[in-house]
Structure 1
Amino acid sequence: MKRTSLPAPRSRKGVPLRLALTLGLLSAALAPAHATGLQEAFEAAQHNDPSLQAARQQVDTSRELRRAARGVLRPSVAAVATAGKGRLHTNMKAPGSYHNQLAGLVLSIPLYLPQERARVSQAEVGERLAFSQLAQSLQQLATQVASSYFAVLQAQDAVAVAEAQGAAIQEQFEAARESYAAGNATITDQQEAQARLDLNRAQLAAARNTLISRQASFTQLTGLPGTHLNPLPGNAPLRPVPPEPQAWWEAQARTRSFLVQQAELGMEAARRGLDAAKAAHYPSVGIVSQAATQHGQTNLTVDTPIQRSRDVSAMLQVQVPLYAGGSLQALERAQAATLGKRESQLEAARRGAAQQARDTYLALQSSLQQAEALQAAVRSSQLALESNNTGYQAGVRINVDVLNAQQQLFQARQNLAATRYAVLLNQLRLKAAIGGLSDADIEAVDRQLQVRAGGPGAAPSPGPSSLPAP
C-alpha cells in the first residue's frame, strides 16, 4: 500500500521538504500480518470480564432457586430416629420408668400449598430476570470493548499525527535556517519553527502516555495486547443513519430495552410476592404417612410385656393460620408498597430508555454530519497548505503561514478519524439502546476495520453466537 503524504514544500532555493503524514491509511499500511479485530476482542473479553462471569453465575443461582421452590411442592421422604426415657406417675399403681427407641420413614405429600405456589412463580420470574441481566451484560461488554478498541486507535492516530507533524516542522525549520543563512529570511522564521518543535515534543509525550494508558485498559478488559489492532482505513465507507425515524427508536426502547424488561420483571416479581403474602392467610393441605418400628416401652405400655411394635399410619393434615402476631398483615402491606415502587421504577426505566435512544440517535446523526464536514475540511486544508507552499516559494508567504496550514491539516485529519470512530460506536450503542445489538452488528463493524486500500478484506470467521438476537 502506498503511503500518502502532503505536497513537499520547497525553500526559496528549491530544497524539497517532505511531509510524512501517518493517519488512518498509514496505520493500515503499517498493520502487522495478524492484528486483533473487534470480534476477536469481544470474544476474548467474554472469557476475561469478571462482571459477565458474575452474571452467568447469577443465572445458575436463580435456576437452582427455582428448582428448590418447585421441590417444596413435591413429595418428600425423611428418615426418623428417636430415643427417649421417662417416668410415669399415676394414682392406680406405683411409679414406673420406661425407655424406647424408634426408627422409621415419614412421607409427606403436599396437596394444597398456595403460598409455596406463589413463591414458585416468583422464583421463575427471578430466573427470567437473571437471563435478562446476562443479556444486558453482554451488550454492555460489547459496547465497552468497542469503546476501548476505538480509544486505542484514536490514541495511535494522535501519536502518528504528533510524529508526522514533528517531522514536517523539522523540515520547515531546516528550510528557515538555510534561508536565514543565505540572507533570504529573518531569524524570526527559524525561531517560530523552533517554538513549534518544542510544543510538538510536549504534545508527542502526552500522546504517547495516553496511548500506553488506553492500551493497558484494553488489555485489562480483553486480556489481549493492545498494540496490534485492525485500524479503520480512510477508504472504509460509513453506513448512513438508519431509515427508521427517531420516534421509532424511542418507541422500541420503551418496550425492548433490557432495563425496561428488567423493570417489568421486577414489577411482576413484586406482584408474585404480594400473592404469596396474601396466600399466607389460606389453609394448607397435605398427607403425612409414617412407617416406624419401636423398641422398648412407652407411657402406655409400662409394666406390659410389649417390647417391640410396628406402626404404619397415614393422615390428612390441614393447617389453618389463625394468629401470627400481625406479621402476616404487615408482610402483605410491605409487598403492596414494593409493588407500587416497582411500578414507578418501570415508568422511570421507560423514560430513561427513550431518552438514551434519542440521545444516541442524535449523536449518530451529528457524528455522520461532522464526518462529512471534516472530509470537506481536510480537502480545503490540503488546498490551503498547497497554496501556502506555493506562496512561500514565491516569497509572498512567510514560514509561519506554512506552519499554520500544516497544523490545520493535521488537526482536521485527526478530528476526522476520531469522528469516524464515533460513528461506528454510536451505531452499536443505538442498537444496544433498544436491546437489539447482535453478533452480526459486531461482525459488520469488524469487516469495516478489515478493509484495505485495494478493496474489502475477507469477512471474519463466524464464531459462536453470544449476543441476544434482536
Structure 2
Amino acid sequence: MPRLPSSLVILAPALLLCAAAASAQTLPELAARALDADPAVRASSASMRAAEERLFQAKAAYGPTANLTATTNETRYREAPSGEMRPFKSDQYVVQVNQPLWRGALYPAMQAARSQLEQADSALMQARLEAQQRLAEAVLEVFKARDVLAHATALREAYGQQLAAARRSFQVGRAAAPEVREAEARVDNAVAQVLAAEAELDLRQQVLAEVAAGPTPALLARAVAAEALPPLPADSVLAWLSRAEAESPSLRQARLAVEAAEAETRKASLAHAPTVDINYNYTHSKDTGTVTSIFPRRGTSSAVGATLTIPLFASGATQSKVAETLALRDKAAGELDLARRTLVIGVRQAFVATLSALSQARALGTAERSQALSVRANQRGFEVGIKTNADVLEAQGKLFEARRDLSRARHDAWASYFRLRALAGALGEGDWQALDAQLVAHQPNEMGRARDRSGS
C-alpha cells in the first residue's frame, strides 16, 4: 500500500477541521431545510394555491362567457311515390356570448372565496410555525439526551474510580466487604444508565433526522451555553395573550372561517333574487337544400337580447340551503370560541412552563454547585477515614441528578419558550438566529472535568 506524502500527513488534521467546518450547519439553515421538506407545509401550500384559483374563478364569474357550437347534418330524402333519393347537407356555426348584468350571489361568493384564501394563508403560517416548533423540540431533545449520556458516563467513571478506591481500602483493612459490594452495585447501575442514555440519544437523533429531512451530525458538535436562558419577564403574560389574540394564525383562521360562513349564508339567501343577463348570438349557416327546396342557401344572423330570470319555486331547496349555511355559520362561531379558549390556555401553560423551567434552572445551578462541594467534602472525609465509601457514592449520585435536572430544566425552558412564541405567531428566523448565537462548541469531557474539579 503506497504511503501518503509527509506534507499530506501533516495537513490531514487541518483538512479534517476544514471539512467539519464546511459541513457545520446553522440553526436558521436547518430550519429552512426542515420547512422546505415538511409535508404539512407542502400540503398547506398546495391548499393555498387551490384557494387562489377559487378566488380567480369567483372573479371570473363577473366576466362574459362565450361558446361556439358547430353542427353538421347529412340528410337523405326519398320522394314518394317516385322513390327518387335526394341527399342534402347543412352546416351551422353559432357563437353565443353571455354577460351577467345582475346576479346578487356573485359578490358574496367572491367574499367567501377571498376569506377562504386568507384562511388558507393563515393555515400555511400555522403549519410553518408548527414545523419550526417540532424542529426546536427535536433539536433540544437531542441536546438534552446527549447531556444525560455525558452525565451518566461521568458518573460511571466516578463510580469506577470509587470502586477501585474501595477495593484498595478493603485490602489494607480500612473498608468492609459490604462497602465494596455496594460500590460494585453502583457501577453496574451506572452502566445500565449509560446504555439507556445511549439508546435514548440514538432515538432522538433519528427523530431529528426525520424532522430535519436528513441527518445532522454537525449539530452534536454544538451545545447551548450553560448560562444561556430565554428572555422572559415574569409579568408579561398579559402582553403575550394580547399578542396571541392579534397575531395567532390559528385564531385568525377561525375568524376567517366565520366570515366565509357568513358570506355563504348571504349567497344562499340571494338564490331567491332575480338575475339579468345580456345575450348575443351570431349564426352562420349553409345547406345544399332542404326537404321542401332544392336550392342551396347560405346566410348569417345575429341577435342581441336580455334575459330576466325570476326564481319561483325550488321545492324548498333554497330555504334548506339557507338553513344549512346558518348552521355552518353557528358551527364556525363555536369553533372560533373554542380556538380562542384553547389559545389562551396554551399561552398561559407555555408561559408558566417557561417561567417554571427558568426558576428551576437558576435554583438547580446553585444546587449543582453546592452538591459539587458536598462530593469534595465526602471524598476528603473518605481519605481521612471519617466518611464511608457509601457516603461518597451517595454524594456523587446526587451530583449526577442535580446536573441532569439542570440540563433538563435549561433545555425545557428553551422548548417552552419556542412553543410560547409559536402560539403567539411570533416564531421566525430571528428566534433561530438568537438560539444559534447561544450555541458553543460542545466539550465531550466537560462532565469529567467538572467531576475532577469537584473531587480534587
Q: Distance in 1 between matches of 2:172 and 2:140?
A: 48
Contact 2:289–2:295 (8 Å) recurs in 1 = no
Q: Distance in 2 between matches of 1:304 and 1:284?
A: 45
Q: What residue is the counterpart of 2:359 in the other structure?
A: 369
- Map 1:170-185; keep pairs closer than 5 Å: 170-185=160-175
Confirm or deny that 1:220 pairs with 2:210. yes
Confirm or deny that 1:54 pairs with 2:38. no
Q: What residue is the counterpart of 2:452 in the other structure?
A: none
Give the 3-state SS of the residue equivalent to 1:295 in structure 2: strand
Distance 1:270 1:164, change over 3 A: same
Q: Distance in 1 between matches of 2:412 and 2:191?
A: 27
Could you tell me how far 1:234 is from its partner in structure 2? Answer: 4.3
Give the 3-state SS of the residue equivalent to 1:280 in structure 2: helix
Could you tell me how far 1:38 is from its partner in structure 2? Answer: 2.4
Could you tell me how far 1:450 is from its partner in structure 2? Answer: 3.9
Contact 1:216–1:226 (8 Å) recurs in 2 = no
Q: Structure 2 unaligned runs (5+)? A: 1-19, 78-85, 444-456
Confirm or deny that 1:83 pairs with 2:72. yes
- Map 1:255-294; keep pairs closer than 5 Å: 255-294=246-285
- Map 1:342-353; keep pairs closer than 5 Å: 342-353=332-343
- Map 1:11-50; keep pairs closer than 5 Å: 35-50=24-39
Give the 3-state SS of the residue equivalent to 2:164 in structure 1: helix
Q: What residue is the counterpart of 2:222 in the other structure?
A: 231
Q: Distance in 2 between matches of 1:73 and 1:33?
A: 56
- 1:416 pairs, out of 395, 406, 410, with 406
Give the 3-state SS of the residue equivalent to 1:405 in structure 2: helix
Give the 3-state SS of the residue equivalent to 1:254 in structure 2: helix
Confirm or deny that 1:245 pairs with 2:236. yes
Superposed CA deviations along residues 70-98 of structure 1, whole A, max 9, x for unmatched, are 1121112221112357999xxxxxxx998
Question: Residue type matched to 2:370 in 1?
Answer: S
Contact 2:350–2:416 (8 Å) recurs in 1 = yes
Q: What residue is the counterpart of 2:430 in the other structure?
A: 440
Q: Structure 1 unaligned runs (5+)? A: 1-30, 89-95, 454-470
Give the 3-state SS of the residue equivalent to 2:313 in structure 1: coil
Contact 1:255–1:350 (8 Å) recurs in 2 = no
Could you tell me how far 1:181 is from its partner in structure 2? Answer: 1.5
Confirm or deny that 1:296 pairs with 2:287. yes
Could you tell me how far 1:309 is from its partner in structure 2? Answer: 2.1
Contact 2:289–2:296 (8 Å) recurs in 1 = no
| More deviation, 184-193/290-299 | 290-299
Could you tell me how far 1:243 is from its partner in structure 2? Answer: 6.2
Q: What residue is the counterpart of 2:152 in the other structure?
A: 162
| More deviation, 133-142/288-297 | 288-297
Contact 2:222–2:440 (8 Å) recurs in 1 = yes
Cα RMSD for the two superposed structures = 2.4
Could you tell me how far 1:100 is from its partner in structure 2? Answer: 3.2
Question: Residue type matched to 1:281 in 2?
Answer: H
Q: What residue is the counterpart of 1:70 in the other structure?
A: 59
| More deviation, 59-68/236-245 | 236-245
- 1:138 pairs, out of 128, 140, 145, with 128
Q: Distance in 1 between matches of 2:233 and 2:272?
A: 55
Question: Residue type matched to 2:31 in 1?
Answer: F
Question: Residue type matched to 2:121 in 1?
Answer: F
- 1:318 pairs, out of 292, 298, 308, with 308
Contact 1:152–1:226 (8 Å) recurs in 2 = no
Question: Residue type matched to 1:195 in 2?
Answer: A
Give the 3-state SS of the residue equivalent to 2:356 in structure 1: helix
Superposed CA deviations along residues 154-174 of structure 1, whole A, max 9, x for unmatched, are 111111111111111111111
Q: Distance in 2 between matches of 1:185 and 1:288?
A: 109
Could you tell me how far 1:245 is from its partner in structure 2? Answer: 2.7
Give the 3-state SS of the residue equivalent to 1:205 in structure 2: helix
Distance 1:364 1:439, change over 3 A: same
Q: Distance in 1 between matches of 2:330 and 2:208?
A: 42
Distance 1:174 1:46, change over 3 A: same
Q: Distance in 2 between matches of 1:180 and 1:399?
A: 11
Distance 1:227 1:188, change over 3 A: farther
| More deviation, 306-315/245-254 | 245-254
Identity of aligned residues (%): 28
Q: Distance in 1 between matches of 2:52 and 2:235?
A: 38
More helix by percentage: 2
Contact 2:96–2:280 (8 Å) recurs in 1 = yes
Q: Distance in 1 between matches of 2:261 and 2:230?
A: 43
Q: Distance in 1 between matches of 2:200 and 2:215?
A: 16
Confirm or deny that 1:380 pairs with 2:377. no
Q: Distance in 2 between matches of 1:397 and 1:261?
A: 64
Give the 3-state SS of the residue equivalent to 1:228 in structure 2: helix
**What is the number of equivalent residue pairs in this alignment?**
415
- 2:197 pairs, out of 207, 214, 238, with 207
Question: Residue type matched to 2:239 in 1?
Answer: W
Distance 1:87 1:119, change over 3 A: farther
Contact 2:360–2:409 (8 Å) recurs in 1 = yes
Distance 1:349 1:36, change over 3 A: same
Could you tell me how far 1:406 is from its partner in structure 2? Answer: 0.8
Contact 1:284–1:320 (8 Å) recurs in 2 = yes
